[in-house]
Chain A
Amino acid sequence: MKTLIKNIKILGSDSDKIFITDGKISEAFDEASADEVIDGKGATAVPGLVDMHCHLREPGGEYKETIATGSASAAKGGYTSICPMPNTNPTADNAAVISGIIKKAKEADKCRVYPIGAATVGINGELIAEMGLMKEAGIVAVSDDGHPIKNAGIMRKVMEYASDFDLPVLNHCEDKSLSEGAMNEGEVSTSIGIRGIPTAAEDIMIARDIILSEYLDIPVHICHVSTKGGVRMVRDAKARGVKVTCETCPHYFTMTDKCCENYDTNFKMHPPLRTEEHRLAIIEGLKDGTIDAIATDNAPHHQDEKDCEFSVALNGILGSETAFALGYTYLVKTGELSLEKLVDLMSKSPSDILKLGRGTMNIGDDADIALFDLEHEFTFDKNTMLSKSRNTPYHGWKLYGETILTLMGGKKTYEKLQ
């Protein structure tokens, strides 16, 4: 099976064609011998994106999203590899649940799904989970995600044990004793009477994890950094040689807590949207390499879980279908980052942290490719989403970087209808 994609721009190459043979990027062949020829119409080809942090909700939350709909939604965003967090029901804390997720993902066949296993049983932060058996079943990292391990002694044991299996530990940093709120603590939370979550809640646990990483000489990865202090601590730790990496999400460089002023629950997530000062620090961290990856923290929620009082609404927003366009519009078009850097943050760099071997388009690589239209503005419409949920704050936003085509191993997983 030979596929030719022509009339495209290719990141890091002067060629305007990609040749695919049996699902892999290959040497050139005659157009006449191609089984399929795709006209890219001037779009830009980049390695299929890698989302190191998302929620697919299955098992247990199928009314919000399934592995099939979540993978299709990610493919629409240009993703070919995605890593779902273990906060499912039952919790993905054992090999059986992991195997089930991988089986469903293969049936859906829209993304390569690399599950993240729970670090502790039931993500309760008490007993370490069967990481070794889960690794055999296919996990690529461990995390308790939204229920961060509060006990430093348990966190130490998780890091030590995970390192025996070469599994990265990803931590959602939040000291819950400081964070009984529903939005960032500050001028806006005070003005609208919503209990606040201070940046200190995030910073304290980032500091702890950096200290443990440095002391144990074991890597740690900080999930969705949203604060200036977090960026500063990771930057300083990296300069000392600490094996710390971190990610952020598009919402932290595109929006601030002012968005919450009208109690719109589509702006509610953990960590919360911060102030402009922090938003700018996130961009700075992306520019100087402190932040290693842009993940989505894609968090589907049912309408009934969002269409309610602000403090009652569940945390999280959809992100898969907007992440690249937001990065391109708000970081590349604005001159903050090069396209190469943005693509690296969204593909090879997260792949390297998790050792997935993705994020490249060399000859012999699986043909995981995303084509984006960088020339034409489009209006993002939530009603076109492939997710089962609609909890996006980006409805109506004018963006650049619409996905034209996504290929996973040479197979079309998303194609924009012309």
Chain B
Amino acid sequence: MGLKSKDLLGMKQLTAEEIMEILDTAKTMKLVLSSANKKTSHLQGKSVVTLFYENSTRTRLSFELASKYMGSASANISTSGSSVNKGESLLDTARTIDMMGTDIIIMRHNQSGAPHFIAPHLNASVVNAGDGMNEHPTQALLDMLTMYERFDTFEGKNIAICGDIYHSRVVRSNAIGLSKLGAKVSVYGPKTMMPVGIEKMGVRIADSVADCVKDADAVMGLRVQLERQQKSLFPSIAEYSHFYAITPEMLALAKPDAFLMHPGPCNHGVELPTAVYDCDQSVINEQVTNGVAVRMAVLYLLMARRNNL
């Protein structure tokens, strides 16, 4: 039991078996979450630190709650409240946290590869909570948990992802993780936001939103950062929502029992009309709950590995 690596850097580093173990563990953790007394002792006497160089609401809070539900001492560092602003290097900051006896460091950073860079230098386990445009593995795991609760298997399932593919670490982690479990991922977005060679990651590039979501078992919208308009990646919000949004008509092209996901935060009326966000097929709010369960599972399995060594 446990994970092979000291760290959770990305879906790239996980095997299909490890992914399934995390998802199965997360299902158990969800029972804890739904109980009256949300407390376990798995992390008692352990310490977890979140080190966030980028803003976050749900990822950070869900990690923090997950660690507290499991009894760990936990602390938070953000760019505004530490020596980061005094120009300390990432590695020095990470080593400082490490030398305080921290068991797990959960880091979000705006540079791809930042957790990969620090992890080999630390005793603590490093969990990637989003690095630049590279990966966001716990988001993909919570997305997959949400699917796993509805699918008996990932094999052959069609997953459609629409939006800003280029900048999305959520897409990369989902594409890698879902492909490892046999699902078929289709992506679509403006060509200005489509990275070169994405098809080599095992995904299909669709021709349109309709082509992407047709016969999908699950449909995922992505947040489009509105400031991208200033970089000429799309001409206007009106045009974006007209051609690239997941409308009720588009969602109707998916399988009848398909469900709609979004990693949040959502720009209502841009990538998703509010009516779609709130529709019966939407599981967006449940994804948030699953985020806590998956993060409990990840912390539990990483700690199990540490305890066994």
Do A and B make up one complex? yes
Residues of A within 8 A of B (CB): 185-196, 198, 262-263, 304, 307-312
Given contacts A194-B132, A196-B195, 9 further A-B contacts (CB under 8 A): A190-B198, A192-B112, A192-B134, A193-B131, A193-B132, A263-B116, A263-B117, A308-B89, A312-B111
Across the interface, do A309 and B195 meet the contact criterion of CB distance under 8 Å?
no
Q: For residues 175 through 216 of chain B, which have their beta carbon under 8 Å from a beta carbon of chain A? A: 195-198, 200-201
Chain B contact surface mostly: mixed
**CB-nearest residue of chain A to B132:** A193
A246 to chain B, nearest CB (A): 26
Are A191 and B111 closer than 8 Å at their CB atoms?
Answer: no
Of the candidates B117, B135, B196, the one whose C-beta lies within 8 Å of that of A190 is: B196
Distance to closest chain A CB from B84 (angstroms)? 13
**Taking each of A188, A192, A262, which has the highest tally of chain B beta carbons within 10 Å of its own beta carbon?**
A192
Min C-beta distance of B106 to chain A, whole Å: 17
**Within 8 Å of chain A (Cβ to Cβ): is B27?**
no
- Can you list 12 A-B contacts with CB-CB less than 8 angstroms, sorted by A residue number? A187-B196, A190-B196, A190-B197, A192-B113, A193-B135, A194-B113, A194-B133, A263-B117, A308-B89, A308-B91, A308-B117, A310-B111
Q: Which of B113, B135, B169, B198 contacts A309 (CB 8 A)?
A: B113
Of A188, A193, A262, chain B has the most CB atoms within 10 Å of the CB of A193
A186 touches B196 (CB 8 A): yes
Known: A193-B169, A193-B172. A187 touches B113 (CB 8 A): no
Using Cβ atoms and an 8 Å threshold, which residues of chain B touch A311? 111-113, 132
Number of interface residues of B (CB under 8 A): 24
Q: A307-B91, A308-B89, A311-B132 are in contact. Are A191 and B200 (CB under 8 A)?
A: yes
- A309 to B114 CA separation, bound complex (whole angstroms): 5
The docked-state distance in angstroms from the alpha carbon of A191 to that of B201 is 7
Q: Which of A191, A198, A304, A311 has the most CB of B within 10 A?
A: A191
Residue numbers in B under 8 Å from A263 (CB-CB): 112-113, 116-117
Which residue of A is nearest B53, CB measured? A309
Interface residues of B in 103-143 (CB under 8 A from A): 109, 111-114, 116-117, 131-135
Q: 7 shortest A-B CB distances, which residue pairs? A: A193-B134, A263-B113, A187-B197, A193-B133, A309-B111, A193-B112, A190-B195
Distance in angstroms between the alpha carbons of A219 and B12 in the assembled complex: 49
Q: Which residues of B, 64-116, contact A by the 8 Å Cβ criterion? A: 89-91, 109, 111-114, 116
Least distance between B130 CB and chain A CB atoms (Å): 10
Which chain A residue lies CB-closest to B120? A262
Residues on A with beta carbons closer than 8 Å to the beta carbon of B197: 186-191
Query: Once the chains bind, are B90 and A195 in contact (CB under 8 Å)?
Result: no
Which of B109, B133, B169 counts the most chain A CB atoms within 10 A? B133
